[in-house]
Amino acid sequence: MAFRNKHELLCDEDPDVLVVQECEDPSYNGSWNEFTDWKWIGENRNKGLGIFTRNGHTLDRINTEQPDCQYVLPVKINESITLLGVWAMNDEQQPAKRYIGQVYTAVQHYDCIDERTVVTGDFNWNVIWDDSPSPSLCGDFDAVTTQLSAAGLVSAYHYCSGVDYGDEPDPTFYMHKKETRPYHTDYVFVPESALRATSMRVGAYSDWIDASDHMPLLVDIEPPRV
């Protein structure tokens, strides 16, 4: 939250595209001159999902019927690459579609997901929880990764690090900001052909915890050729 007071930390990394959860509405508050373009969705102006670009890159929102997940934002980058930004939430009304169930619903719904797509965000889930969700889910982490793999997408973190799902040594989330409660719940799925040789890193707890309980997942990709 209060991203207006924190975005310089990320801009220091010189990113082209940022997907930010729990993000305030840029049209409501703050100065955003560092960014070329942005799209935002949310019911609370202080806490939604934002996608930002820098360095001259542009965004166009893909207008399509929304599935049963509150924070999924599909956009086109430079009228070329599709990006599906995700912030998976709890859903007390439809508990089968909470957290990873929302991601599964979105992946099932959007037919724009292919080898020119990036699917990224806070999934609020790890495969270690697939075995015992209560109540049950409409789709789990394994089902999501299987479908994304069929579309030609890989998790940048797992592809570059060579670790299996559930064995991640680099947490992206610290519950209640406690270093003793680490989890890997944020993902960037990209076309395998788009990844560069050394293209991924997770922000360190000591560098970022004052700003957020989530660490940035930084990925370099080579845009797929038309």
Per-residue pLDDT tens for 137-162? 889 999 999 999 999 999 999 999 99
Range in 40-54, 171-185, 211-225 the model is least confident about: 211-225
Quote the tokens at residue 112: 């724009």
Residue type, 199: S
The CATH superfamily assigned to 3-221 is Endonuclease/exonuclease/phosphatase (3.60.10.10)
CB-CB contact of 157 with 217 (8 Å): yes
Domain ranges of the chain: 3-221
Please provide the average confidence, as pLDDT, over all residues in the chain.
91
CB-CB contact of 62 with 75 (8 Å): yes
Q: pLDDT-based confidence at 4, cuts 50/70/90?
A: confident
pTM to 2 decimal places: 0.93
Q: pLDDT-based confidence at 198, cuts 50/70/90?
A: low
Cα–Cα dist 62/112, whole Å: 10
